Each structure stands twice: as structure tokens, then as C-alpha cells.
Structure 1
Amino acid sequence: MTERGRARTQGVAGTWPPRGAAQAGGFAPSGFAAWPSLVDRLRAWIRAEAGAGRLLPWVPIAFGTGIAGYFAAEREPVLSVAAVAAIGLCVAAFLLRRHKVFPIAVMVAAVAAGFAVATWKTARVAHGVLARPIYSVSVSGFVETRDIRARTDRFVLRVTSMESPRDLTKLQRVRLSVRKGTAPAVGSFVELKARLLPPMAPLRPGAYDFGRDMYFAGIGASGFVMGAIRTAAPPDSGGWSLRYAAFMQGLRDAIDARIGAVLDGDRRAIATALLTGRRDAITAPVNDAMFISGLGHVLSISGYHMAVVAGVVFFAVRALLALIPPLTVSFPIKKWSAVAALLAAAFYLLLSGAEVATQRSFFMTAVVLIAIMVDRRAVTFRTLAVAAMIVLTVAPEALVHPSFQMSFAATLGLVALIQIGMPLLFASPDNSATARMALWGGREIAMLALASLVAGLATMPYAAYHFHRVTPYGVIANLAAMPVVSAIVMPAGLLGMLAMPFGFDGLFWQVMGWGIDWMITVAQWVAALPGSIGRMAAFGTGPLIAASVGIILLGLLRTPLRWSGAAALAAAVVWALATPQPDILISADGHTIGVRGRDGRLHLIGSGKGNILGSTKDSFLLREWLAADADGRQTGDPSLTEGVSCDQAGCVAQLAGGGLVALALRPDALADDCERAALLVTARQAPAACGALVVDQDRLRRQGALALRRARDGFALDAVKPRGVDRPWSPAVADVVEGEAGLTRPAAPRAVDATPSESDLQAEE
């Protein structure tokens, strides 16, 4: 027997089959070393991912999962039960800290804690929500905030008294629109008459819920001022918070006025937006170009702005201190610079209004600067995790806001790029081509391009979900504009604010304006490129969750298990593209219907004379519907009403698969429509024997806007508020007693002046 044969039979090293193959239950070809089994590899990767220090970044993810579970609930949870469950699970996790199941226990406790914190926040901000419109009500109160917009002004009034012909429960705050230039000063006590409207319901199933945002802001209604606003003597001082708000608003107004002395138009509006957070005065064409090009994130103060402010102050202070040799030798000037940068970032947070995106950015920046102060590594997944936990604990409602989702997704991608991508990309000898490229600044250009690409890809699922579009040329726009914004626009703005008290700020505003001109030019050029508007049809939360899981896995995992995130992202893309679009859309007031015709596009039925859909209410509604359908037509396009027949009694339109959709306006149309139509929408009582599916005002009042899809046996219906749903910001209509002014949720579209714009939401990183 040969030596090789004896080795096989004796079971010594090099035996056949090898141990790894035998354990796997298979055989390797003769002469080749067998790879460890897949199970062994997975175990090794899992052990590596569960190593020391790897648990913390997953805690805010579990915490956020609990918050998401809270917002997915159909009815409001019981706070005491949620709190007891969370405390019990946290105690159990602490007791199991030396057990193997400790990581699992921590994750479960974090989920329960997130659920309980969200429940507690809702109970803490509980307030009344207007049930139905009031056309004339006398209101008095303190002005808390004021927004200067392109066409109208808007302010939030803290209500002290409210008088109406109807006995209404008093509201805590209302948001009112007024003619441009007539908004009262922040901190003043005013008396006025207003038309109040309930918070806006989603305009279609799956659309963004502006009313939920208003609820957590303490606002129970919005509307319009009727007549003059009278300033009166306040019944009390209004408290320190009002005095603080008045001071900060005065500071913002002063900055805007000084900028306005040098700049005008969109240059002034963008400069004010970058420094104070007030971005509503930007004209629609420039605003659209910014978002289409991928530069819209510049308009909303978030991580980029906070990083620039803190970075400029940090390096400027450190450079100045370094000019004094005794300080550099004997004192920690780096830590002093971090303290100065932290104070500057805190001031910028207060000046900009402390929105959710800005809070997140400040907490992230603060964690980084504090890490510098205590000699710890600054940019890590741990700092991101700590910032996320702070934001979600303070404002759990931020989880469902696009600014939070996009900011943290982008930041996660950038931290992963810094910690994983940069070492791999530039890990080569100094005399290599990479080093020569770095000598000429190529490394910085490559990193800027990579950062823009990573941030754009990370935020793309959320932009597609919330705004129904992506930015194909975002990298080009950011490469062309962001160096100018970082090196000229923002530093000039900071120097302008520092020079204001001394009267030498005019030059800096002019320099800032030159940089803004370049940014606008780049945005308009990119927006005009072929295919610059990447439209995306609406899809559900399932693909968004799958995409989020993919981004998290790619960002946090270190072993080859991270590529499971790529698989999740691919599945999310396929899932989103395969989402069927509704065949019929019905507005919450029943006055507008969208019917998918034979050409695959929506055709619109309106209750106005001659099917005219020209009011501001219709305009906002139709823009949302068309965007969600990836339809590039404008609201005034004649093709929107093609194939729709109208007369004084009502309108009818043909469905793509056959059958008619009818909107009955008069009683004499009901009998005919019941006989001919597959779907009948009416504000009147339909005959009991109607052969069509009837959608009446009672159903719309209870369920809001509807989306219907053709099914084998009729229609599958999705509603803004399905039956059984009863949340504080969207109470069940069944709880309202007719004739009483309860606090419930209406279902009515709104005029443009009373609605948020896309710029109110989008705050990418």
C-alpha cells in the first residue's frame, strides 16, 4: 500500500475525506483541500458580528422598531401596560447580562422601550383636534412662530380664548395664513376672526400624513384670517418660552433684513434659508430645480450645514490659538476648539428653529465634539447610535418623518464609507498611482464623488417613497455645487453674522450671493438635462422596510454577511416596481375622481362646472395624485379630462378594463347611473337596489380618500383610514354625535395656502 493509501486508512492528518467535508456530509475531489462547510462559515461570521462592542449600533434600530410598531397600531395602546412591559423587559435584560441570551434580551427590551416612549409622548402632547370646518370664529392668543412665504405669510397662534356660534372644545394652537406682509410679530397678543379647517388628511391611501405632524406640534387646526388682526393687551406675559421665541424671531428678522439690503429674490431667500432655516420664500421654479437636481438638501438645515458650521469654527479657533506658542505647548487647544464649535452649533440650532433634522444634526455633531474632548474616536457607528437614541427618545414621532429617515440613512452610509471604504480604497503603498493621484488632489475629488454617490443612493428609497422621484444626476450637481457652498457660501454667511454688530457685513453677503448664483445655475442646468426628473410610482411600506433593512445590513455588518443587505435592496427594488397602481382614486370630499383609462393614465372627473379642476384645492390634490402615479403632466393639461363626459347631472368616465365610473350631482342621475355604472360616487342617498358599487359621503367622511383596484369579483378598496383605526391624530368618525362639535378627523382637501409644501418635508443629508 502506498503512503497515501495508508494515510487514508489510518485517519491521520490529511485523511480522506477531510474533516470539514465529513462534517458537512459531503466529499471533496481528490488532491484538493476542502473548504470549511457553509454552516461553519456562517457560525464564524455570526460570532464576529456579535463580538465585543458590536451590540450598541443595533440598540437604536430595535428602539426604532418599537416606535414603528406603535405607529402601526390600529388603536392607541394603554400607556400603563406599555410602560410596565418595557420596565420589566429592561430589568430582565439587566439580570441576564452575563448570560448568552443577553444580546437578544437587550434587543427585545429596546423594542418594548421604543413602543412605550412613543406611547408616552403621544399622551404628553394630547390636545384637541378640530372635527369639521368653522367659517367664522373669534380667536385670541399669542403668536408663537411666523413664516414668510412666497405668496402668503403664516403664523402659529397659541389660543387663549375662542368664541364661535358652535360650542367647540378649545384648541391649543392653530396655524393661520394671512396676506403677505401682514403676519403679526412673534410674541404679540392678537385678536382676530378666522375660518378654521381640520388638519389635512392624506390625499390618497399611503400618502404622507400632515395631520400627524400637526398633532405632535400641538396644532389642532389650520385656516385663514378673515379681516383685520388687532393687537391687544395680553392677559399675562405668556411665559419665558414666548419671550425666547420673540427674541429668536427678532434675530432671524434682523439677519434677513441685513441680507435683503444687499441681495434680493431667490439669492436672498436661499441665504436666509441657509442661516435661519426659513425657506418658504424661495420661488417655485428655483425650488423645483434644486430638488430635481439633487441639491434640495442644501435648503434644509441638517447634518451638512451643522458640520460646516462646527468645522469652520473648530479649525478657525484652533488656528488662532495655535498662533500663541505658550498655549499650544501647555494647554489642550484642540479641546478648547471643540468647546467653541459645540457652542456655535448650539447657537445655530436655536437660530434655525430646532427642527427635527437640525436636532438630529446637532446631537450627532455634539457627540463627535464631545468625543474629541474626552480623547475618543469621533466618527464611528457608536456616535451615530447615540445620536439616534437621543433624537428618538426626545421626538419618537421623528421616525416616520422623511428628514429623519433620509438623514440617518445618508449618515450611516457616510460613516460606513469612512470606516470601511476609505481604508480599502486607499490602502496602497505611498509610491503607487494612488499616492500620485492624492498629490494632485484626486483623492479629495474621489472622496467627494463617493460621498455624494453613497449619500444619494442611501436616501434614494426614501425620496422615491415620500416624493415619488429620484435624482439621476445628483452626483454631478453635488460635485459641481457643493465645493462652492462649503468653501464660499457657508463661511461667508458665518462671517456676515459675526460682522453684523460692527456694520461690515455687506461684503460677506455679496460673496455669499455669488456662491448662491453658482448653485442656482448648476441646479437649473442639471434640472434641464434629458431624463433629469426620475419619476417613481407610489409603493407601500413593505419595499421601504426591505430597503431600510438592506441599508442597515450593508452599513453595520463587517463580514461577508453584509451582502445579504444587497439582496434585500434588490428585493425592495423589484417589489416597489411590481406594486400595482390603483384603477380609481376618490378624493376625501368626493368632488374629484381619478379613473385609469385605456392609455394607462389617470383621467380626472371634477364636480365643477364643465369638469373644471382649477381651484387651488384641486391643484394641490392633483399634483399629489399625478406625482404618485409617476405622471409628468401638469394640472392644467387638457389630456387630464379626455374621455370624461359631463352634463348638469354629473360625469362619467370609461375604465380601462370596461365599465363606467359615474359622479352623480343631481337626484335624477342616480337611477341611470345605478343601472349603467360599475362605480357610483354621490353625495346623495342612492337607491336601495342600486346595481353599482356606491361610495357616498358617509363612507368618505368615515374613511377618507379611497383607492380602488379591479378585482375578479368587483373592486379591492384601500382607505386612508380603514375601519377600526382610531388614533389621537385620526379619531374614528363614529365617535362623533351628529349636531355636536366633537374632536375628530375630517376628510377634506385643502387650499394650497394652508398646506405644507415639499420643501417643508424634504431634509436630506
Structure 2
Amino acid sequence: MGLSIRNWHLHWPGGAIEGWIDSERDQWPLWVPVAVGAGIVTWELQGNGALWAVTGLCAALILIAYITGRQSSLMAIIKIAAFCFLAGFLAIYFRSAAVGTPPLKKMWIGEFYGQITKVEHITARDIVRFELATGGHAGLPEKVRVNLDAEKYRPEFTSGAVIRMKARLVPPAGPSVPGGYDFARRAWFDGLGATGTILGNVTLYRPSSHKPTLGNVRRALSAHITSQLPPGSGSIAAALATGDRGAISDDDAEAMRNSGMAHLLSISGLHVTAVVGAIFLLMSRILALFPRIALRFPVPLIAAAVAAMGAIGYTLLTGSEVPTIRSCVAALLILAALAMGRDAISLRLVAFGASVIMLIWPESLAGPSFQLSFAAVSTIIVLHESRWMQNFTRAGQQDGLIRKMGRSIVILLITGAAIELILAPIAIFHFHKSGLYGALANVIAIPMTTFLVMPFEALALTFDLVGLGAPFWWVTDISLRAILALAHGVSAAPGAVSMLPVMPQWAFAAMILGALYFGIFRRRARYFGIPLFLIGLTAMITAPYPDILVTGDGKHLAVVGSDGKLALLRDRAGDYVRDTLRENAGVKAEPVAITDWPGAQCTADACVITIDRDGRRWNILALRSRYYIPSMELAVACKRVDIVVSDRWLPRSCKPKWLRADRESLAKTGGLTFYLSNAFSGPRVESVVAAGHHHPWIIAGK
């Protein structure tokens, strides 16, 4: 009877939950960064207005759990989760308030003084980019970014110099269409209030009094590397050594993205790991050669300390971008674990690193770099900690050299395929496309980069000090040429790139939560994460294609055909606009002119476009010239169509049957996406501002 009384709680639902919690007790700490991230995501979705609701809810949960569940594991988890959730929300709330800069209200043209704080040479576009501290001169934001033609650049324009110029400045651009890249968000957290172009020449008002900085060293090193190699391989080599990607051509960058190898161009985990691993191994071997040192001092600790300094130095040299800092922090944690004799690679270490990054740079959570890097590392750990992978690895310990190599290749392919499966939804959510052959390409590219390119480039730079670096540069060049050839070959392969339209946010969240649930838990309950992931995956694959896209300025309209073609109102649209519209529509083919659309009738001033969807005919009037159209004539034309799109103000007499998108209305809504085929909810339109009306960079820009 006593036994049944003690264990009765295991037979009711609450007791079952407590039993399940206890069975997974070693895994619960891994949910700490998830709870922190949930708080950050809540701010992203609701903005500052949710402060008191979130604070009150979390405080109430913590208080209730503390009072009622001192001996309950469930209440303890609720208490810790609420605390971490609140910590994440407050981290980004205060970070936004501390660094956020209200953007310029409207376009500004004039002369001003600015002190250069950063210089970036973008040789692929033949421009030099300055970040300037204006000191609020002429009522401008404290920090602006401007582009200067490379031919007008002078060596005296270095960090610390004060220059005088005339420039055209505009507010940082938000997404041109719903789901597009939001530069305004990045500018807000970078403290950047305006961007623009320098008009005419620049006058040096006061030269820099700063001593040579790492920025100067980085630029000099990039220039030296590019002078030793041909343009293609030289630009990649410079990116690997200094993080300077300005010299990489658009074709090479696109090929690297489409082949799934773009991560090689961003200094992150792979590069920092290679540097740290090489330094740690080299120092360990060197110290082991001296018995007096090896017997008296802890060699791993000394090697770890030197490798840590190398990681910090490499991070500073490459510009201290957030992905590099994140990788450096992770490398330091791994070195600390090695020095203490702990397991260097584990999900707990990843969870700790992610929590630290999110609390210091909470805005990085929403970026693809954070998501891709931590998802890749976590996938590798989960896969290689699985029982069947460990059995497969152990089974080959007695194999010969050939069989071991074959088994290693199989493991690399399985790992690459698993990473692609997890990373593809993230890439599609952010970029609306994903390379399908990335696993195969990276099986070749990653070892080449780690064991050939980076070591030989380091040797070349070292031997250049005595004028003997040529042989090492030759090997570096050959290796990089092979990587670029692989990237272009994979990118050009049939079906190499999968493109999909903008997916629902809930679908992305379902896939992420499903993957986390499966990856973190260890018991059978983990398999409940698979259907959740599949539900999100299905919603991603079946996401509807838009029928019409209109940019926020009203100048560009794209019509998506049922045959997968895209037609543009202005066939002279720039590459950025064309790519943005094509990617957000999920269309691979190059856009065509609207005049080639079967249902379009165009003049020099306007086009009337006809679209048939679900048995209904839609008529769109799109104006594309600045010439005056008589009001009565325009009113009659508007009355005959369902939608009117214009980049100028239209008179009130222009009243289409459904919607008018002119300069006045688009200033309030931002870019628009029309879904005319929807059997469940009927035709609908989504806008940029509606999706992010609570964001401080949008509120401050109004």
C-alpha cells in the first residue's frame, strides 16, 4: 500500500509529465537558447508595444511557479523558461533603444562635413564606400554611408580624416516588396541613418591623425593578395584572409551562392576553425619537441592559449563582423573545454554559445548567418551522436585504407545531405532559393579550402617576407581556380537551384521547432518533431505564387504567369530590382518585357494588363511615364479596371473597382504583393508596412 501511495502520481497525467521531464533531464538545459530566442522573436513580431504584456506575463509565471511548484520539475522548467524568454525580449528591446538611429525623413542633397570611420573598397563595382560621422551637421543623422567613384578616391581618405563633400542622401531602404531584404532593419541596428552617393569631388578638410589601424593593414593585405593572383582567384583569396569581398565579381558570387558554397566567402566557423586548429596542432607539436617544457608545463593549455590569441587576432584582422565574432566565441569555448579536459564539441557548448550571442547581439538571431551556422553545427553534432552513425563509424575501425576512405566519403555525403535538408528551408525563407547539389559540392570544396587553400595562402604570405612566396601562390591559385570551376559547373547544372515564393512565417517556425524538438530530445517523444517539420515543409512547398508584385516606389510592376514567366512593366529595370522581383516571385526564368505579355496592351504612357485567374478576368492599369494625362480621360480609364498602379499622385477621380496603388497610398503601405487565386480566402494583397508596422525603424521613418 505504501508503494502505491508513493507512486500514485505517475498514473495521472501530471505525474506522467513529471516522469517524462525527469527522463529527459539532461536535455532541458538545451532549451535555454530556444526560450531566449522566443523572446527575441516576440519582439520582432510585436515590437516595443509588447513590453508590459511580456513583462507582466513572465513575472506572473515566475511567481506562480515559485509559489506552487517548489518540488515540481514542470514548475521549475516554466520558471526558467519564463525568465529566459523575458531576458531575450529585454535584450533586443534595450539593444534597439541603445543603438537604433532614426532614419533620414526624406531625400536630402547638400554639402556637409564628415569624419571617415570606415573605408571599404568594392572593386567589383568600381566604388569606394565610406561610413561617416557627421556630428549632426546640417541636421543629418550622426552616421551615414556614402559611395564614391573609385577614380575620385585619394589615399589620404583614411579612417579619421575629415572630408567635405556634396552628396545625395536617402533613408535606408526597406523591403521593396513583402518578403524582400530589409536593409532598413540592418541600418537601424548598425546606427546608420542614411545612405547615398557623393556628387562631384571630395575635399580633404583635415587629414587623419590616427595611427595605422587594422583597417589599413587589412586593405594593404588585400591589395597585396590580389596583386599576386589573377582577378578571380585573387578576390576569393583576399576574402579568405581579410574578409574583404568587394573584389568578387557578381558572376562568381552568384555561382558560389547557387552551388551552396557561399559560406566559404564569409569568415565564419570554417575559417576560424581552420586557423585555430592549425595553430593548436602546430604549437602542440613544437612544444612536444622540448622535453623540459612538455614535462613541466601543460602543453594543451599553452597551445590553447596561443590558438585563442590567434582566433582573436584573425577576428580583428577580418573586420570583426558578427559571424566572425560568433565563430571566435565558439572557438574560445572549445579551446576552454579542451584545456579543461572536457568534451570539446557538444550540444551544450553550442547552446551556451548561442545564448551568449543572442544576449549580446540579439538582432543577429533574425539573420540568415546566425541561423545557418548554428543549424549546421547542431545538425553535425546530432547526426554524429546518433547511435546508428556511431555504429557505422565503429564498424570501419578494422577496415583497410581503401575501405576507410570509402566509409569516410559516405559519412561526408550523409552529413552534407543532412545539413542541406536542414539548411534548405532557412535559405529558402531568406533568399527564396536553395542549391540542390550543395552537399556534393561542399564535400570537395570544404577539404580543399581547409587543407589546401588556407594553409598554402598562409605559407605564401609568410614566405613573401623573404621573397619566396611564388610556389605557394601557384598552389593557392590552382586550388581556387578549381573551386570556382566547381561552383560554376554546379551552378549551371540542370535543376541546380530550387526557387520558391515567399513562405508563411508559421511554416518556417514549424520546421524550426520540429527540428529542435527532434534534435534536442533523446527518447521516443522526439519523433513528434518529424510531423511538425513535415507540416511546415509541406506549407513551404505549396506556398502560393503571387500574381502581381509592385515595388514601394510604384515604378516597377511584375506579373507572374501560370507558366512560370515573369513580365516587367519597365524592361530597363536594374539588376537588383529584377533579381528581387524574380526571387520573391519564385521564378527562375529571366524576366521579359510587359509588351511581350499576351494579355497586355501598352502605349508609351501606360499599359492595360489582363490576367485570368479562377475563371475571373482581372484588368490592371499601370502608368509608366511622367507625362500629364487629362483627369477625365484618366478617370474613365480607372473606372474600367480593377487595379491601378502608378509612381505618381493620382487624382481622387481615379477610382478603380478594387485597389489604387499610387505614390500617396504606397507611401503608407510600401510594396505590395497580390494573390488573385485563392479558393479559401479569396483575392488578397499583402504590404510591406502591414507586415512590420510595429518595427521602430518603420515608425521612426514616418
Output the TM-score relative to the length of structure 2. Answer: 0.89
Shift of 1:588: 0.7
Q: Please say which of residues 454-463 and 718-727 is displaced more in the overlay.
A: 718-727
1:60 and 2:19 correspond: no
CA-to-partner distance for each residue in 1:150-171, whole Å, 9 max, x for gaps? 013242433235665xxxx431
Alignment of 1:109-120 (within 5 A): 109-120=83-94
Q: Please say which of residues 488-497 and 288-297 is displaced more in the overlay.
A: 488-497
Aligned to 2:147: 177
- In structure 2, what residue type is equivalent to 1:569? F
Select the residue among 392, 397, 405 that pairs with 1:425: 392
Alignment of 1:336-375 (within 5 A): 336-375=302-341
**Aligned equivalents of 2:14 and 2:55: distance in 1?**
41
Aligned to 2:484: 520
- In structure 1, what residue type is equivalent to 2:701? T
**Aligned equivalents of 1:655 and 1:638: distance in 2?**
12
Question: How has the CA–CA distance of structure 1 residues 157 and 530 changed in structure 2, closer, same or farther, with 3 Å as cutoff?
Answer: closer
Alignment of 1:445-464 (within 5 A): 445-464=409-428
Question: Is 1:146–1:185's contact at 8 Å kept on the other side of the alignment?
Answer: no
- In structure 2, what residue type is equivalent to 1:55? W
Question: Is 2:116–2:158's contact at 8 Å kept on the other side of the alignment?
Answer: no
CA-to-partner distance for each residue in 1:579-619, whole Å, 9 max, x for gaps? 2222221111111222344645433223xxxxxx3143xx3
Question: How has the CA–CA distance of structure 1 residues 634 and 44 changed in structure 2, closer, same or farther, with 3 Å as cutoff?
Answer: same
- In structure 2, what residue type is equivalent to 1:583? D
**Aligned equivalents of 1:261 and 1:689: distance in 2?**
61
Alignment of 1:248-397 (within 5 A): 248-397=214-363
Select the residue among 709, 717, 730 that pairs with 2:698: 730
Q: Secondary structure of the residue that 1:721 maps to in structure 2?
A: helix
Shift of 1:453: 2.1
Select the residue among 165, 176, 187 that pairs with 1:214: 187
**Aligned equivalents of 2:415 and 2:538: distance in 1?**
26
Shift of 1:230: 1.5
Percent identity, aligned pairs only?
A: 26
1:128 and 2:102 correspond: yes
CA-to-partner distance for each residue in 1:258-294, whole Å, 9 max, x for gaps? 2133202011100000111111211122211111111
Shift of 1:97: 6.8
Select the residue among 576, 580, 601 that pairs with 1:645: 601
Select the residue among 537, 540, 546 that pairs with 2:510: 546
Aligned to 2:588: 632
**Aligned equivalents of 1:220 and 1:312: distance in 2?**
41
Q: Secondary structure of the residue that 2:528 maps to in structure 1?
A: helix
Question: How has the CA–CA distance of structure 1 residues 438 and 313 changed in structure 2, closer, same or farther, with 3 Å as cutoff?
Answer: farther
Shift of 1:72: 0.5
Aligned to 2:118: 144
Question: Is 2:594–2:600's contact at 8 Å kept on the other side of the alignment?
Answer: no
Question: Is 2:567–2:594's contact at 8 Å kept on the other side of the alignment?
Answer: no
**Aligned equivalents of 1:439 and 1:267: distance in 2?**
34
Aligned to 1:717: 685
Question: Is 2:566–2:590's contact at 8 Å kept on the other side of the alignment?
Answer: no
Aligned to 2:645: 681
Aligned to 1:614: 572
CA-to-partner distance for each residue in 1:416-440, whole Å, 9 max, x for gaps? 1232254232244855xxx347864
Q: Secondary structure of the residue that 2:256 maps to in structure 1?
A: helix
Question: Is 1:604–1:644's contact at 8 Å kept on the other side of the alignment?
Answer: no
Select the residue among 531, 534, 541 that pairs with 1:570: 534
**Aligned equivalents of 1:360 and 1:223: distance in 2?**
30
Alignment of 1:218-237 (within 5 A): 218-233=191-206
**Aligned equivalents of 2:463 and 2:692: distance in 1?**
59
Alignment of 1:472-483 (within 5 A): 472-483=436-447
**Aligned equivalents of 2:16 and 2:473: distance in 1?**
58
Select the residue among 197, 206, 209 that pairs with 2:170: 197
Which has the higher Rg, Structure 1 or Structure 2?
A: 1
Question: How has the CA–CA distance of structure 1 residues 106 and 172 changed in structure 2, closer, same or farther, with 3 Å as cutoff?
Answer: same
Unaligned runs of at least 5 residues, structure 2: none
Question: Is 1:279–1:299's contact at 8 Å kept on the other side of the alignment?
Answer: yes
Question: How has the CA–CA distance of structure 1 residues 629 and 615 changed in structure 2, closer, same or farther, with 3 Å as cutoff?
Answer: closer
- In structure 2, what residue type is equivalent to 1:550? G
- In structure 2, what residue type is equivalent to 1:69? T
1:102 and 2:76 correspond: yes
- In structure 2, what residue type is equivalent to 1:650? A
**Aligned equivalents of 1:332 and 1:89: distance in 2?**
48
CA-to-partner distance for each residue in 1:297-334, whole Å, 9 max, x for gaps? 11111111111111111111111112223333332111
Aligned to 2:701: 744
Shift of 1:624: 1.1
Question: Is 1:678–1:692's contact at 8 Å kept on the other side of the alignment?
Answer: yes
Aligned to 1:734: none
Q: Please say which of residues 702-711 and 273-282 is displaced more in the overlay.
A: 702-711
Question: How has the CA–CA distance of structure 1 residues 528 and 600 changed in structure 2, closer, same or farther, with 3 Å as cutoff?
Answer: closer
Shift of 1:143: 3.2
Unaligned runs of at least 5 residues, structure 1: 1-18, 24-35, 238-242, 607-612, 732-742, 746-765
Q: Secondary structure of the residue that 1:725 maps to in structure 2?
A: coil
Q: Please say which of residues 95-104 and 535-544 is displaced more in the overlay.
A: 95-104
Q: Please say which of residues 699-708 and 665-674 is displaced more in the overlay.
A: 665-674
Shift of 1:335: 1.6
Aligned to 2:46: 73
**Aligned equivalents of 1:519 and 1:231: distance in 2?**
42
Question: Is 1:128–1:170's contact at 8 Å kept on the other side of the alignment?
Answer: no
Aligned to 1:508: 472
CA-to-partner distance for each residue in 1:489-532, whole Å, 9 max, x for gaps? 01122334444555444443332212111111211222222211
**Aligned equivalents of 1:540 and 1:171: distance in 2?**
35
Aligned to 1:661: 620
Q: Give the structure, 1 or 2, with the largest relative contact order (CA under 8 Å, sep 6 or more).
A: 1
Q: Secondary structure of the residue that 2:612 maps to in structure 1?
A: coil
**Aligned equivalents of 1:336 and 1:364: distance in 2?**
18
Aligned to 1:402: 368
**Aligned equivalents of 2:567 and 2:19: distance in 1?**
54
1:46 and 2:20 correspond: yes
Shift of 1:54: 2.1
Alignment of 1:527-606 (within 5 A): 527-597=491-561, 599=563, 601-606=565-570
Question: How has the CA–CA distance of structure 1 residues 530 and 114 changed in structure 2, closer, same or farther, with 3 Å as cutoff?
Answer: same
Equivalent residue pairs, number:
677
Question: How has the CA–CA distance of structure 1 residues 688 and 275 changed in structure 2, closer, same or farther, with 3 Å as cutoff?
Answer: closer
- In structure 2, what residue type is equivalent to 1:685? P
Judging by fraction of residues, say which structure has more helix: 2
Question: Is 1:707–1:719's contact at 8 Å kept on the other side of the alignment?
Answer: yes
Shift of 1:443: 3.6
CA-to-partner distance for each residue in 1:369-404, whole Å, 9 max, x for gaps? 111112211101111011101111111000110101
Question: Is 1:553–1:562's contact at 8 Å kept on the other side of the alignment?
Answer: yes
Shift of 1:550: 1.9
Question: Is 2:145–2:192's contact at 8 Å kept on the other side of the alignment?
Answer: yes
Question: How has the CA–CA distance of structure 1 residues 467 and 640 changed in structure 2, closer, same or farther, with 3 Å as cutoff?
Answer: farther
**Aligned equivalents of 1:424 and 1:674: distance in 2?**
70
**Aligned equivalents of 1:256 and 1:724: distance in 2?**
39
